Structure 1
Amino acid sequence: MYSHWARFAVFVFCLTAPLSIAIAESDTGKNNPANLVGHGGPIKAIAISGDGKTVLTGSFDYSAILWQLDNTTTNKLARRYSEHEGAINTVTFIGQNSRFLSAGDDGGVYLWDRASDNLLMQFKGHQAKVLSLAVSDDGKLAASASWDRTVRLWDLDNLKPLAILKGHKGPVNAVLISGAGQQVYSGSYDGSIIKWSVKTGRQERPLYLHGWGINVMKWLPGKQQILFGTVNGDVQIFDLKADSIAKVLIPHQRPVLALAVSGDGKFLASGGGDGLIRVWNTADWSVVEELNLSFGPVWSMVFSADNKKIYYTGLDDYAVAWKISPRKIGQEVQGKFPRRFQKLQNMSLGERQFARKCSICHTLKAGDQNRAGPSLFKIFGRPAGTLKGYKYSPGLLKSKIVWNEKTIDQLFAIGPQHVTPGSKMPLQKISEKNKRQALIRFLKANTQ
């Protein structure tokens, strides 16, 4: 049912950008103390607390991380949360930042308590990945947007599900809640922004119909204007009172994947599959900064509390702190290209299978950190679920499998859902026997 949208997502993930404005070529990102380094895979989501002292990130490595910001020297990894069973696509703080939400490919909406570091609730109900979360100003209501074409509402006080908002004809990519908490606004791949009543759980009316899919939405201060980005690269502002488009900004050449609005509303930024970040001054709508990452895409970004930095995320395993005021040309960084999971022309058949199927989740060598999955160092002969330091799913902890040529071949021949049911492994197969054998040869040569 969702194969079309899945193909689109993979297409965007592998985009490269055209001509650059400020090109970042060095691989110094992990050595910059201002960057947020600690994830084992590309970071898909980022949010900043209301006081500007804490950042929350969510990654393809299935984990969320809280960071304590130090504006003078380094940023500190404060806590890692690894209970997700899929990539994390969206995170948001709640109220006075004592709680937060995360959601992603496993379809669950996770509610966390910062004081105890406990998972308070995993809300279930979505039948596909969740792309966006919103919370009411009073912290009592949450909304989640999913590729199952619905928005679901959640009671954060009583920890129970509320209405299911149905009406979109395509995956729902973005959701917002009004200032008073009485309306919900959702944006979909079907090109529409719909207004919903929280009280009735019903559609009030289609607010706006764009010719292309809506990818992302943000409130401007006052919550009377919606900033949105689209599949064809448009960046526009819809005014609720005027019931019309109030501003059309310079479009991107490829899909807009990220938007950010500074806390005081003086600046906004757009980021796309073209790798371009564009920063606007909302007083006169002038472009004050542009950065082209050259290898794209930009998944998410936030302004620092003082508007001097933008923390952005892309294909690297860390979030980059881009200093925009005062701008220092050449200080932007980006990791090596192509990334480990992107195709290289000089790869052997086995290495190519590893890059495509395994590398985003697994490492190979002794001392390598775990990613979404455990390190594969000395995988042959290892009983499943036994590597120290990795939090396995119940399915693998109960498994009696010992990894060898036969069991690894079976894993990719019939799929993890049959070999390791209940595990966090992505549902993927390698149908061609020669490719499976090549992968096994590569693993044996590189994991001992």
Structure 2
Amino acid sequence: MRWLAVVFALFPLPALAEFFTLKGHGGPIMGIATAPDGRIATASFDNSVGLWSDRRPEWLEGHEAAVNSVAFNGRAIYSAGDDFTLRRWPGGEVVGRHKGKIVGLATSKTRVATASWDGTIGIWPEDGLPKQTLMVGSGVNAVVFSPDGSTLYSAGMDGALRVWDVSSGQETLRLIEHGFAINELVLNAKDNWIAYGAVDGVTRILDLTTGEERDFTLGRRPILALTLSPDRRLLAVGDGEGYIMVIDTLEWRIAQDFRATLRGPVWALAFSVDGQNIHAGGIDKAMYSWPVAGLDKQEQMASDEPSFLKNPDEMSNGERQFTRKCSICHSLTPDSQRRAGPTLHGIFGRTAGTLPGYFYSDTLQDSDIVWNDKTINALFDEGPDHYIPGSKMPMQRITQAQDREDLIDFLRQATTSRN
């Protein structure tokens, strides 16, 4: 049997795929990327990027709002989000800035492309050349480079799938006029097709040689994530109803259709480097990774129900207002629990923008607001965008005076009685 040991030494068996989770974020997982060495990067609503080696995190902090997308490019990591910035790690320096949220990233050997809701695509060269701005005119959701970096594909809110010449910055072709917003793109250049997923649930694969389209639409909407396996055999699709559909691109059939979460969407997908696992993020604060084989037999996401999905009949009106408007960003404990916003513990009597360890907007840091019944009421009566223009707080109001009063009563009790 000595020959068998020699064979195993020369050709070791691959590690068996296993289910695992990456926990530590304080908000939903919005983007996932994998590196050739096995590292995983996660972009989160908690304003941070998690860099995972051997399932242990290093936190990349610097974004001032939710991080939507992350990508490896050689030794660098790029991330972008709701603070309008593109950042490069290590260091977190701002290397690009839009006038609206950045929701998509693509990298080539020499450039990074950003898709922004300000109606433009940013091309940010790594060699110090001037940046390019490609004018689309409506929000851009997704971008992807050709392998040589000379061509860029984009899609967005107007439902058009565009082709760009990167050197000139000119649109050269419009492949699709879908009519509904296209959210996601995946390019398979070796087999010469591109896949797209749209807000109306359409999932299609376009042959770039013949123009033929294959339709895998299942009527679930919107499509929020697409990813291709390293061997190009499997295309995974995540949607707003919590499913992951896996398409076999050799036999052109749906191989698996897994309900990944009972409540909430699948926002992010990526295959492991060896293709054995599929990583996913959603409304839960953890990244889940399942073996691709037997996906439908695996544990679902969000096993611990987020507070904002609790049965409203089990809560007081004040707690209902908190869970709907505040809980995804703020904790009530002394620990902020890596949420997108600072903890509300001890908020009454606290000057706005002063809690140590949180990256506040300049507007809030420079204000003279002290949080009390009157100022909290005004915040939700007028809406953060009017009460504190320039704040990072999302645009929302509580229009009924009784609802605001009940929220304030709940916050006073919940933020002063906890240790």
TM-score w.r.t. the length of structure 2 is 0.87
The superposition leaves residues 36-85 of structure 1 with CA deviations (integer Å, 9 ceiling, x where unpaired) of: 1111111111111133x1111111111111111x3xxxx111x2123222
Q: Work out the CA distance in 2 between the residues paired with 1:408 and 1:307.
A: 49
Q: Which residue of 1 aligns with 2:100?
A: 128
The superposition leaves residues 357-405 of structure 1 with CA deviations (integer Å, 9 ceiling, x where unpaired) of: 2111101124452411111112112233343443434444444433222
Q: Which residue of 2 aligns with 1:428?
A: 396
Select the structure of larger CA radius of gyration: 2
Relative to structure 1, is the Cα distance of residues 337 and 369 closer, same or farther in structure 2, using a 3 angstrom cutoff?
closer
Q: Work out the CA distance in 2 between the residues paired with 1:50 and 1:401.
A: 48
SS for the counterpart of 1:299 is strand
Higher relative contact order (CA 8 A, sep 6+): 1
Aligned length: 398
Matched-pair contact (CA < 8 Å) for 1:338–1:344: no
Q: Work out the CA distance in 1 between the residues paired with 2:30 and 2:323.
A: 19
Q: Which residue of 2 aligns with 1:284?
A: 251
Q: Which residue of 2 aligns with 1:109?
A: 86
Whichever residue aligns with residue 145 of structure 1, its letter is: A
Relative to structure 1, is the Cα distance of residues 192 and 418 closer, same or farther in structure 2, using a 3 angstrom cutoff?
closer
Question: Which stretch has the larger CA shift, 373-382 or 323-332?
Answer: 323-332
Q: Work out the CA distance in 2 between the residues paired with 1:130 and 1:400.
A: 31
Relative to structure 1, is the Cα distance of residues 106 and 391 closer, same or farther in structure 2, using a 3 angstrom cutoff?
closer
**Residue 85 (structure 1) aligned to one of 50, 57, 64:** 64
Relative to structure 1, is the Cα distance of residues 152 and 270 closer, same or farther in structure 2, using a 3 angstrom cutoff?
same
Q: Which residue of 1 aligns with 2:214?
A: 247
Q: Work out the CA distance in 1 between the residues paired with 2:200 and 2:399.
A: 34
Q: Work out the CA distance in 2 between the residues paired with 1:141 and 1:64.
A: 21
Q: Work out the CA distance in 1 between the residues paired with 2:329 and 2:401.
A: 22
**Residue 35 (structure 2) aligned to one of 36, 41, 49:** 49
Whichever residue aligns with residue 64 of structure 2, its letter is: E
Matched, 1:64 2:49: yes
**Residue 204 (structure 1) aligned to one of 166, 172, 185:** 172
Q: What are structure 2's unaligned runs of at least 5 residues? A: 1-17
SS for the counterpart of 1:413 is helix
Give the Å deviation of 1:250: 4.6
Matched, 1:99 2:79: no
Matched-pair contact (CA < 8 Å) for 1:221–1:265: no
The superposition leaves residues 148-188 of structure 1 with CA deviations (integer Å, 9 ceiling, x where unpaired) of: 222222122217422x22245x4221111122222211112
Matched, 1:225 2:197: no
Q: Work out the CA distance in 2 between the residues paired with 1:343 and 1:172.
A: 36
Q: Work out the CA distance in 1 between the residues paired with 2:209 and 2:32.
A: 30
TM-score w.r.t. the length of structure 1 is 0.81
Relative to structure 1, is the Cα distance of residues 81 and 422 closer, same or farther in structure 2, using a 3 angstrom cutoff?
farther
Whichever residue aligns with residue 100 of structure 2, its letter is: A
Matched-pair contact (CA < 8 Å) for 2:102–2:116: yes
What root-mean-square deviation, in Å, do the aligned CA atoms of Structure 1 and Structure 2 show?
Answer: 2.5
Matched-pair contact (CA < 8 Å) for 1:217–1:229: yes
SS for the counterpart of 2:256 is strand
**Residue 190 (structure 1) aligned to one of 137, 142, 158:** 158
Q: What are structure 1's unaligned runs of at least 5 residues? A: 1-31
Alignment of 1:133-144 (within 5 A): 133-136=105-108, 138=109, 140-144=110-114
Q: Which residue of 2 aligns with 1:8?
A: none
Relative to structure 1, is the Cα distance of residues 400 and 191 closer, same or farther in structure 2, using a 3 angstrom cutoff?
closer
Q: Which residue of 2 aligns with 1:383?
A: 351
The superposition leaves residues 5-51 of structure 1 with CA deviations (integer Å, 9 ceiling, x where unpaired) of: xxxxxxxxxxxxxxxxxxxxxxxxxxx99211111111111111133
Relative to structure 1, is the Cα distance of residues 154 and 368 closer, same or farther in structure 2, using a 3 angstrom cutoff?
closer
% of aligned pairs identical? 40
Matched-pair contact (CA < 8 Å) for 1:218–1:227: yes
Matched, 1:165 2:165: no
SS for the counterpart of 2:266 is coil
Q: Work out the CA distance in 2 between the residues paired with 1:296 and 1:426.
A: 19
SS for the counterpart of 2:144 is strand
Matched-pair contact (CA < 8 Å) for 2:147–2:189: no
Matched-pair contact (CA < 8 Å) for 2:26–2:338: yes
Q: Which residue of 1 aligns with 2:312?
A: 344
Give the Å deviation of 1:246: 4.4
